[in-house]
Amino acid sequence: MAAEKISIIELRRTEVFRALPKRMAALIENYLSNGGDKIKAILSSYSCGEKSARVMAHNYFSKPRVLECIAVANGEDPDRAKFLAALDRAIHNKKTTPREIEALQLSAKVHGYGTNEVENGDAPQKFAIGSIIVQRGKKYRVIASEIA
């Protein structure tokens, strides 16, 4: 169960917020005070045009420290916010290594993210025919063949 949202004044007292650079802290304050509009927050925190603000919004609001601070303000788990940011980066990065995937899987297990079922490493997994799966960084297509 998530805690209640906290005010900007309360957020300013948190360790997460105080660790931010001044401009990034101002960005988060503007974001929270304007109702969550990322572009308006960038435009009020930095002197730039709207086109640049869109690019900056994408960059700043995908940073783990920013997501962590927003999660604290919204009464959510900041560690989960950082994990989801790392997961999103890994999903969109073509050069994500098998070790990085394993590290994310381990982190998910340690923090209890994902399914509540206990995984049995020896149990066979079920996949739909034609689906593509990734194991140790290599892609495989599931096919059906007759067993004599």
In the chain, domain spans: 8-78, 94-114+124-141
Residue with tokens 């560690």: 79
Q: Does domain 8-78 have CATH number 1.10.10?
A: yes
**Dihedral, CA atoms, 110, 3, 82, 99, nearest 10 degrees?**
20
Amino acid residing at 14: T
Over its length of 148 residues, how does the chain's per-residue pLDDT go in tens digits?
456 888 889 999 999 899 999 999 999 999 999 988 999 999 998 889 999 999 999 889 988 889 999 999 998 888 888 888 888 888 888 898 889 988 888 888 888 887 555 555 566 777 788 888 888 888 888 888 888 7
Q: Could you tell me the CA-to-CA distances from 113 to 77, 83, 106, 123 in Å, in that order?
A: 11, 9, 10, 21
**What was the pLDDT predicted at 1?**
46
